[in-house]
Amino acid sequence: MSSISCSYEMIVDGYDWGPSVSRIILKHDLFRKLDNVACEQFQVFFKKQHVWHEALISAADLIDIEVHLRFKQHPEFRYLSPITYDHKTNRNIFTEPLEVKVNLLHPLLINEDRIDMISLSKKEEYFIPQLELFKKTEYHFNGHVKLNYLLYLPLGEKDLPLIVWLHGAGEGGTDERIAFLGNPVSRLVEPVIQDKFSKAAVLFPQAPTFWMDDGTGTYTKNGNSMYTKALHGLIDNVIRHENSIDKHRVYIGGCSNGGYMTVNLLKHYPEMFAAAFPVCEAFRDKWLSDDDIAILSNKPIWFVQAKNDTVVVPESFVIPTFERLQRMKAKELHLTLLDSVADWSSSYFDKDDKPYEYHGHFSWIHALNDRCMLEDESLFSWLSKHST
């Protein structure tokens, strides 16, 4: 025996910087006869954009007929990402599929036989474990706008608060995997945040283009969006038809384009939301009238932004808006203004062994990991205390 052909599966998880293949699962009946496997026996390559890259294997596990190969992760290991940025559409798209090669550096021994080579016989879809927790559906508004959305409802729970998260510009389209993986929104269903609410429902709507689309396929020049009424209708429809949701505890947040739409919905439909958390929000202050500021001043809002954000410059967006709200003596107003966006987990470092620093626009990393603090209270702990 020298060569076998395995089927395989690629597992994708969401990280602070985006999605990454966290492991591959090799499947063959003969693996059941193995005693053990080790990282040193395998070599794995991924092909992305016509270039082969060797993945660093961090663990190898044998589970019945499966060999699980786990990979070391880092923000710079982009060859493990199943998405690429499409400059024609200005959106992230899935690469279907990443090509994989598996080499054996040392044979796998089964009694007196040995396996010297592994080939991969079947390409399967990416599997995204946390996406399985969500119900995927769609909402039609006035017969001409269709919005896809993902909804997480903890089983057996009643009177659930609802967290609405609105994605950035790159996550628009019709592929819900992009909206789910473009930012680390899976954190919203993990214990760190869920425990702050003693369980919460989570809603991820997806714009077919981008939230700041004024209806012409271009960015709004006055603050208007073609999706304002449709998105309000979607959220209202979910609240009305899901009996387990508490309509008095609906919280809205989003990043960049989604931060824009957070502010936009809040000023048009303030009665719907108990509190809001716009992140690197792209609603230009000059688009907000004094009447808009008066409306916003009556809602609890916690802004999050990084000083070195060069995409949504704070001085044109959040800072003047925050200052106007302060002058209006806003009901409850907070701003986390980060110096930069560096790794908070002590897991990822740069070549100088300093915490890895992300682009300044990525302030959603700190927000979605509940790292924004007001004295000893976190953003999501603060959110959980509000109701209409």
Q: What is the pLDDT of residue 1?
A: 61
* Predicted structure pTM score: 0.95
Does the fold of domain 133-384 match that of domain 3-127?
no
For the chain, the residue count is: 388
3-state SS, the chain, equals CCEEEEEEEEEEEEECCEEEEEEEEEECHHHHHCCCCCHHHEEEEEEECCEEEEECEEEEEEECCEEEEEECCCCCCHHHCCEEEECCCCEEEECCCCEEEEEECCCEEECCEEECEEEEEECCCEECHHHHHCEEEEEEECCCEEEEEEEECCCCCCCEEEEEEECCHHHCCCCHHHHHHCCCHHHHHCHHHHHHHCCCEEEEEECCCCCCECCCCCECCCCCCCCHHHHHHHHHHHHHHCCCEEEEEEEEEEECHHHHHHHHHHHHCHHHCCEEEEECCCCCHHHCCHHHHHHHCCCCEEEEEECCCCCCCHHHCHHHHHHHHHHCCCCCEEEEEECCEECCCCCCECCCCCECEECCCCCHHHHHCCCCEECCEEHHHHHHCCCC
Residue pLDDT tens, the chain, 388 long: 689 999 999 999 999 999 999 999 999 999 999 999 999 999 999 999 889 999 999 999 999 999 999 999 999 999 999 999 888 888 999 887 789 999 999 999 988 788 999 999 877 679 999 999 999 999 999 988 999 999 999 998 899 999 999 999 999 999 999 999 999 999 999 999 999 999 999 999 999 999 999 999 999 999 999 999 999 999 999 999 999 999 999 999 999 999 999 999 999 999 999 999 999 999 999 999 999 999 999 999 999 999 999 999 999 999 999 999 999 999 899 999 999 999 999 999 999 999 999 999 999 999 999 999 999 999 999 999 999 9
* Count of beta carbons in the 10 Å neighbourhood of residue 93: 16
The domain ranges of the chain are 3-127, 133-384
Phi, psi of 193 (to 5 degrees): -95, -40
Domain 133-384 is of which CATH architecture?
A: 3-Layer(aba) Sandwich (3.40)
CB 42 within 8 A of CB 102: yes
Selection from 278, 272, 269 nearest residue 305 by Cα: 278
CB 140 within 8 A of CB 155: no
CATH number of 3-127: 2.60.40.2180
